Amino acid sequence: MRGFVLRFLITMLGLYVASSLLPGVSLASTGTFMIAALLLGFVNAIVRPVLFLLTLPLTVLTLGLFLFVLNGIMFALVAALLPGFEVAGFGSAILGALLVSLTSMVASWFIGDDGRYEVIIVERRR
What are the residue boundaries of the structural domains of the chain, listed by start? 2-108
Please count the residues of the chain: 126
| Predicted pLDDT of residue 110 | 73
pLDDT score of 125 more than 90: no
- CA–CA separation, 96 vs 41, rounded Å? 15
| Predicted pLDDT of residue 113 | 61
Evaluated on CA atoms 33, 38, 41, 43, the torsion sign reads negative
- CA–CA separation, 84 vs 95, rounded Å? 19
Torsion angle of alpha carbons 70, 72, 77, 79, nearest 10°?
170
| Predicted pLDDT of residue 123 | 80
- CA–CA separation, 40 vs 44, rounded Å? 6
| Predicted pLDDT of residue 1 | 64
pTM of this structure: 0.83
Considering only residues 101 and 106, tell me which one the structure prediction assigns the higher pLDDT.
101
pLDDT score of 112 more than 80: no
| Predicted pLDDT of residue 105 | 85
| Predicted pLDDT of residue 73 | 94
| Predicted pLDDT of residue 70 | 95
